[in-house]
Amino acid sequence: MPTTPSIGVIGGSGFYSFLDDVEEVHVDTPYGPPSDPIAVGDLAGRRVAFVPRHGRDHRYPPHKIPYRANLWALRSLGVGRVLAPSAVGSLTPDLGPGTLAIPDQLVDRTSGRPQTYYDEGAAVHVSFSDPYCPHGRRTALEAARSTGWDLADDGTLVVIEGPRFSTRAESRWFAAQGWTLIGMTGHPEAVLARELALCYTPLCLVTDLDAGIEEGEGVTMEEVLRVFGENVGRLRSLVADIVTALPAERDCPCPNVLDGLELPLELP
């Protein structure tokens, strides 16, 4: 068993129990500590690092998550690939609660979150036209298909600032753009992973129909937590299947996205 984790998972605290032989690693970063100490343990014959996105006790709301510290800490431990399960809303009745969606595009509607490592010293423009790792997505889709899970194999995730949910008008407007999923944490997580040349693969569990789509009282936290709780076991085993299926070497464009760019800081 290698001791260095090559795969990182950023997810809800329901993921703690899925690692064996866990050691807790305290990592400090130039951006402060990550959401919590990182749990490094065994999963499907690989060493995997887990960060609870909101902190173990869920103390960080989406707009306060230390995204830069989380990704930096993972890279400093040796992680090359990041799997990112999260709960999302659906902007189309076609994707009901319990659907697993692996989007291929992202729209950023957040505001005021630090979203780059390259703040000063040089202008670093990473390519982000395709925000997710193509190989990670393919592997995740194959693994999910083989379990028979209701699956959306593409789609656009719009990330809102939160922590409030959308109004009906906002929700209808997003849907009218053709965007299919809505969440609060997918940005800047994905772009920070790209800026560190990490592979990033979102695993979005639909927990609700967003306000403009459903007929009832609108999204409630209770509903989100209930559907997530019902599916977290499946999501954990899907992550294990993906970890098993990922090849050891990264043969995708992600490791090379910084080639030829002059960086103003040294990456861990």
| Catalytic residue numbers, as ranges | 208, 210
CA pseudo-torsion sign 119, 268, 157, 226: negative
The answer to the question of whether 106 is labelled as a binding residue is no
Q: How far apart are CA 195 and CA 155, in angstroms?
A: 23
Interface residue with Zn ion among 27, 158, 242, 254 (CB under 5 A) is: 254
Chain centroid to CA 69: 14
Site mask, Zn ion, residues 186-215, x = CB under 5 A? -------------x----------------
Q: Which of 245, 252, 257, 261 binds Zn ion (CB under 5 A)?
A: 252
C-beta of 120 vs 249, nearer to Zn ion: 249
What SS3 state is found at 170?
helix
Q: Residue 198 Cβ, how far from Zn ion at the closest point, in Å?
A: 8
Answer yes or no: is 100 a known binding residue. Answer: no
Does the annotation flag 237 for ligand binding?
A: no
Q: Cβ 190 to Zn ion, closest distance in Å? A: 12
Q: Name the residue nearer to Zn ion (CB basis): 69 or 254.
A: 254
Is residue 133 a contact point for Zn ion (CB under 5 A)? yes
Q: Which is nearer to Zn ion, 92 or 105 (CB)?
A: 105
Question: How near is the Cβ of 57 to Zn ion at its closest, in Å?
Answer: 32
162 and 184 Cβ atoms separated by less than 8 Å: yes
Question: Annotated binding residue at 87?
Answer: yes
Q: How far is CA 111 from CA 13, 173, 187, 188, in A?
A: 26, 18, 10, 10
Residue 86 marked in a binding site: yes
Please say whether the beta carbons of 138 and 199 come within 8 A. Answer: no
Residue 133 beta carbon to Zn ion: minimum distance, rounded to whole angstroms: 3
What's the rounded Cα separation, in Å, for the pair 264 and 117? 9
In DSSP terms, which residues pair with 40 in a beta bridge? 23, 49
Please, what is the end-to-end C-alpha distance for the chain in angstroms? 23
Length of the chain: 268
Q: Residue 5 CA to chain centroid, in angstroms?
A: 17
Stretch that binds Zn ion, among 8-16, 63-71, 84-92, 250-258 (CB under 5 A): 250-258
Question: What residues form the annotated binding site for substrate?
Answer: 184, 208-210
Interface positions with Zn ion (CB under 5 A): 133, 199, 252, 254
Question: What residues form the annotated binding site for phosphate?
Answer: 13, 53-54, 86-87, 185
